[in-house]
Chain A
């Protein structure tokens, strides 16, 4: 018996020992992490660029705090520590706070943030959107702090500088403001992107292109003259209802000018069929690559093989960015419809409900959106180390500098930041002008609450995914497959969802006195 007790004891003590060593490892690790942060590398932030923030609530009596900030990046950046150090040196005297940047690759962002939020972890700020780490769902779950008052107190100038519709669009379906927009282009005007060289070679007259059909003669010539290129790079979901006489918001469409705002299932509309018949026709004629349903568009694009394609948003000055993605080929943009207000939800920043210092977080966000020095630090890193200045407003990012996330749009107000090499000087004024002049849909501000039809939506999503790649690229005969798709969607509950949308829209319209 005695020996048995000893055995038990031994086992228990091994376990404890192991745990203890685990804790020890933890400590040393933290220490090393801190020490890497400490050697503040550089403080050469721009002093010559004008400091526009006028409302710095910098007061000495603020106790020092650390803000934890989750940001998505395409890849982890090896030298994020020196950016963090420079940011902290800059904001410490202003708001007596330091920030810890927690960067997460895009592919993991959803999963990781969902876990972090569900676990009720204490942190301060995070990026959110309508396509990754869903804003609407998480706002209903209670992940975010209501910002209404905080914005009024700590960022009034910034929020007032935005178009009214932008702030309106940042609200969730309950009309609450849970995130502030990372201001950038918020108008969507899609159109064709064509390789300049090819357009010139085959005499494409840009002014004649108004619809998909108009591009056909050009595609025919390209197909004949460039056998190893892809005349038209078909992509999924290029049916844009606004090109075909619909009005509304994404997923909530009615015929333009309909006084009853009767919502329609666009998948079942004749226009939808016609659009895909054309794509299928192009596919059969060989303008589109044969493996379009399975191939990775970006790979072909990068190889410079795609001569023309449809792009959902043509940005002012976007030709330069597009050139990078087109394997270095110059491109021209051909807009197909009037730019519409598309909303700010693709990129926003929220404050966590678990934050202990929401006021300070708001001050930080205010700075990130109004102070070019801070924004440029967050978006592009440290001058000389991560980018070189070409002139007062243009920079060239060093790809091997250790910090080149290239996602300025996730970090704050891009219109106060630097321009990339080659972008036109007036890119930002033009962007702002476009935002201000864009057509605001009549039912702007309406947010569909998905809660009542969650199951149906999930089913529909699954059904749609099944057909998406083949049908919407035009790789299969739409006459056969679109009825199948519509039928499957009906079975999944599309009618119930449409009725629910109509019901909510009618209520909203009534509350606005429009119906």
Chain B
């Protein structure tokens, strides 16, 4: 950076200030969630939300960890789907992208169009549900959580853009040296697209980590409930029952059973937490991948 006197440092200051504000607007709500999860319920009701808990308490976490098996099970399901899903998804995405990036593949155009087409039109909820439950028979299996999100056309196109930048002379010279297509893919293409893989891997794993909708639709067995669904369910049900209070006044629901405010926040912290630790490891590739791998233009 070249500093040209007073003016640019003034501009710099404003830019810094702007980004500090942007960063704060993202960090503060999360800090607030953590703070609420550590505040005693009584204090929340009397004093409201505070960044520094007026009355510190770990009751919320104790409440959740009272039956840790459910939580551990849910974590296990989420981690399993995220790991298997991300690896399989990356493999499929990069293979597909590699194929459509090869200019010597005769059906590049139809194939790319076929992929692109699914970005514009999708089958919709009910047909997908019928396909998964009645033809693939995936209901109540972990595959119902993994398969639906496995191949995203958008990621294929990003990956294609990245692989397309690898000089084709590289591939040709490998061929001359007698490398098989497999070897080219695994030993040339994959190592060269590491930044893109890392970036997409991060996106994909976020998607898997945060996904709850497939589980809502396809999972009945409690053993296969991922952590995000556990959280969404809790929130939905509380919300739903409070807003329908008038209609179901004749029916009794014991609201005292529901987790209180701080427990809900603690749950949020536990669900979001691990991903925040994963993120820094990817960051190195993340920046590079974003600039190099994304759509050129």
Q: Are B217 and A112 in contact (CB under 8 A)?
A: yes
Chain A proximity of B184: nearest CB distance (Å)? 9
Whether a CB of chain A sits under 8 angstroms from the CB of B291 is no
Complex Cα–Cα for A11 and B216 (A): 31
Q: Scoring A residues 149 to 179 as 1 if CB is less than 8 Å from chain B, else 0, what string do you get?
A: 0000000000000000000000000000000
Q: Are A4 and B242 in contact (CB under 8 A)?
A: no
Q: Are A105 and B233 in contact (CB under 8 A)?
A: yes
Whether a CB of chain B sits under 8 angstroms from the CB of A409 is yes
Whether a CB of chain B sits under 8 angstroms from the CB of A16 is no
Whether a CB of chain B sits under 8 angstroms from the CB of A297 is yes
Q: Are B252 and A318 in contact (CB under 8 A)?
A: yes
Chain A residue nearest to B229 (CB atoms) is A108
Neighbouring A residues of B133 by C-beta, 8 Å: 119, 121
Q: Are B250 and A184 in contact (CB under 8 A)?
A: yes
Q: In the complex, which residues 198-231 of chain B have their Cβ closer than 8 Å to any Cβ of chain A?
A: 216-217, 220-222, 225
Whether a CB of chain A sits under 8 angstroms from the CB of B13 is no
Q: Are B242 and A185 in contact (CB under 8 A)?
A: no
Complex Cα–Cα for A305 and B232 (A): 28
Interface size on A, residues (CB 8 A): 75
Closest 3 CB pairs of A and B: A107-B236, A131-B247, A312-B249
Complex Cα–Cα for A410 and B252 (A): 10
Complex Cα–Cα for A346 and B247 (A): 7
Neighbouring A residues of B166 by C-beta, 8 Å: none
Chain B residue nearest to A28 (CB atoms) is B141
Neighbouring B residues of A76 by C-beta, 8 Å: 222, 225, 233
Chain A proximity of B31: nearest CB distance (Å)? 21
Given contacts A29-B142, A105-B236, A132-B244, contact A184 B181 (CB under 8 A): no
Given contacts A108-B216, A324-B256, contact A26 B250 (CB under 8 A): no
Q: Scoring B residues 239 to 275 as 1 if CB is less than 8 Å from chain A, else 0, what string do you get?
A: 1111011111111111111101100000000000000
Q: Are A313 and B138 in contact (CB under 8 A)?
A: no
Chain B proximity of A17: nearest CB distance (Å)? 11
Whether a CB of chain B sits under 8 angstroms from the CB of A448 is no
Whether a CB of chain B sits under 8 angstroms from the CB of A23 is yes
Whether a CB of chain A sits under 8 angstroms from the CB of B28 is no
Complex Cα–Cα for A102 and B260 (A): 27
Whether a CB of chain A sits under 8 angstroms from the CB of B140 is yes
Q: Are A406 and B254 in contact (CB under 8 A)?
A: yes
Most central of B42, B105, B245 by chain A CB within 10 Å? B245
Complex Cα–Cα for A179 and B150 (A): 41
Contacting chain A: which of B2-10, B124-132, B155-163, B282-290? B124-132
Neighbouring A residues of B242 by C-beta, 8 Å: 296-298
Q: Are B251 and A312 in contact (CB under 8 A)?
A: no
Which one of A104, A106, A299 lies within 8 Å of B261 (CB-CB)? A299
Query: Can you list 29 residue pairs at the A/B interface with Cβ under 8 Å?
Result: A3-B180, A3-B181, A4-B105, A14-B95, A22-B141, A23-B136, A25-B143, A26-B138, A74-B253, A74-B258, A75-B237, A78-B222, A106-B236, A106-B237, A107-B235, A118-B129, A119-B130, A129-B248, A131-B247, A237-B246, A297-B242, A297-B245, A298-B242, A318-B252, A325-B256, A346-B251, A347-B251, A399-B257, A409-B252
Chain A proximity of B267: nearest CB distance (Å)? 13
Q: Are A22 and B237 in contact (CB under 8 A)?
A: no
Given contacts A26-B138, A78-B222, A119-B129, contact A302 B255 (CB under 8 A): yes
Q: Are A33 and B140 in contact (CB under 8 A)?
A: yes
Complex Cα–Cα for A6 and B182 (A): 9
Complex Cα–Cα for A112 and B217 (A): 6
Which one of B125, B129, B220 lies within 8 Å of A102 (CB-CB)? B220
Complex Cα–Cα for A84 and B222 (A): 15
Chain B residue nearest to A29 (CB atoms) is B141
Whether a CB of chain B sits under 8 angstroms from the CB of A342 is yes
Whether a CB of chain A sits under 8 angstroms from the CB of B46 is yes
Whether a CB of chain B sits under 8 angstroms from the CB of A321 is yes
Q: Are B181 and A22 in contact (CB under 8 A)?
A: no
Q: In the complex, which residues 57-116 of chain B have their Cβ closer than 8 Å to any Cβ of chain A?
A: 67, 70, 88, 91-92, 95-96, 99, 104-105
Whether a CB of chain A sits under 8 angstroms from the CB of B22 is no
Q: Scoring A residues 478 to 493 as 1 if CB is less than 8 Å from chain B, else 0, what string do you get?
A: 0000000000000000
Neighbouring B residues of A313 by C-beta, 8 Å: 249-250
Size bin of chain B's contact surface: 35 or more
Chain B residue nearest to A111 (CB atoms) is B216
Q: Are A108 and B236 in contact (CB under 8 A)?
A: yes
Complex Cα–Cα for A23 and B143 (A): 9
Whether a CB of chain A sits under 8 angstroms from the CB of B11 is no
Q: Are A236 and B240 in contact (CB under 8 A)?
A: no
Whether a CB of chain A sits under 8 angstroms from the CB of B45 is yes
Chain A residues within CB distance 8 Å of chain B: 3-4, 6-7, 10-11, 14-15, 18, 22-23, 25-26, 29-30, 33, 74-76, 78, 102-108, 111-112, 115-116, 118-121, 129-132, 184-186, 188, 190, 228, 235-237, 296-303, 305, 311-313, 315, 318, 321, 324-325, 327, 342, 346-347, 399-400, 406-407, 409-410
Complex Cα–Cα for A489 and B54 (A): 44
Whether a CB of chain A sits under 8 angstroms from the CB of B137 is yes
Complex Cα–Cα for A105 and B237 (A): 7
Q: In the complex, which residues 1-45 of chain B have their Cβ closer than 8 Å to any Cβ of chain A?
A: 41-42, 45
Which one of A107, A121, A235 lies within 8 Å of B134 (CB-CB)? A121
Which one of A6, A78, A236 lies within 8 Å of B246 (CB-CB)? A236
Q: Are B126 and A115 in contact (CB under 8 A)?
A: yes
Given contacts A131-B247, A347-B251, contact A118 B126 (CB under 8 A): yes
Chain A proximity of B97: nearest CB distance (Å)? 12
Contacts beyond the supplied A7-B181, A120-B130, A237-B246: 14 A-B pairs with Cβ under 8 Å: A22-B138, A22-B141, A26-B137, A29-B142, A105-B233, A107-B236, A107-B238, A107-B241, A119-B130, A121-B133, A298-B238, A298-B258, A302-B260, A325-B255
Neighbouring B residues of A342 by C-beta, 8 Å: 250
Most central of A6, A30, A131, A407 by chain B CB within 10 Å? A131
Whether a CB of chain A sits under 8 angstroms from the CB of B292 is no
Whether a CB of chain A sits under 8 angstroms from the CB of B188 is no
Chain B proximity of A306: nearest CB distance (Å)? 11
Q: Are B240 and A324 in contact (CB under 8 A)?
A: no
Most central of B234, B240, B261 by chain A CB within 10 Å? B240
Complex Cα–Cα for A301 and B245 (A): 13
Which one of B42, B143, B217 lies within 8 Å of A26 (CB-CB)? B143
Q: Are A107 and B45 in contact (CB under 8 A)?
A: no
Whether a CB of chain A sits under 8 angstroms from the CB of B147 is yes
Neighbouring A residues of B181 by C-beta, 8 Å: 3-4, 6-7, 10
Most central of B99, B104, B216 by chain A CB within 10 Å? B216
Given contacts A11-B95, A102-B220, A298-B242, contact A409 B251 (CB under 8 A): yes
Q: Are B134 and A22 in contact (CB under 8 A)?
A: no
Given contacts A29-B141, A33-B140, A406-B257, contact A130 B250 (CB under 8 A): no
Q: Are A23 and B254 in contact (CB under 8 A)?
A: no
Q: Are B257 and A346 in contact (CB under 8 A)?
A: no
Neighbouring B residues of A132 by C-beta, 8 Å: 240, 244
Most central of A74, A184, A407 by chain B CB within 10 Å? A74
Neighbouring B residues of A311 by C-beta, 8 Å: 249
